[in-house]
Amino acid sequence: MALLAAMLATAGLYALMGAVVVALFQLIVYIGAVLVLFLFVVMLLDLRRPPPRAPGAAAASGAAGVGITAAAGWAAWVAASHAPGQSPRPAPGVFELAIDLFGRHLLVFELTSVLLLAAAVGAIFISRTGKRSS
């Protein structure tokens, strides 16, 4: 669920920046395909383990302290680096995105699909090896 929330938040940020096409790609490709693939692989693993213990109060307060410190540092960095005279670059359109993705980054794009396929096949292989009867 956290992965789904992170991907939805990323798509929302893309939409807020005006890159609606990239937000739709995020929704369709990552949430519609990759997340569903990961869910099927995890369901095929059929792992039976006891649930992990909840973190103690010390760990929770430490994590909250790190989060507050990171947020304060980020806010200070944004406030210091904001130049009011500069205007942001316009977001690239679909054509520019396609040229960049299928031009310069074609090999990386194809290797990512092969890597996802290998991960799914490996997870299925690992889950099936323990179920064989001799």
Domain boundary assignment for the chain: 1-47+92-134
Q: Are 41 and 128 in contact (CB under 8 A)?
A: no
* Res 129: pLDDT: 67
Backbone angles phi, psi at 88, to 5 degrees: -70, 155
* Res 71: pLDDT: 93
For the chain, 134 residues long, the average pLDDT of each consecutive 10-residue run is: 83 88 85 78 71 75 90 86 68 79 88 87 76 56
Q: How far is CA 26 from CA 3, 32, 40, 50, 75, in A?
A: 13, 9, 19, 34, 26
Compute how many other C-beta atoms are within 10 angstroms of the C-beta atom of residue 11: 21
Radius of gyration of the chain (CA): 21
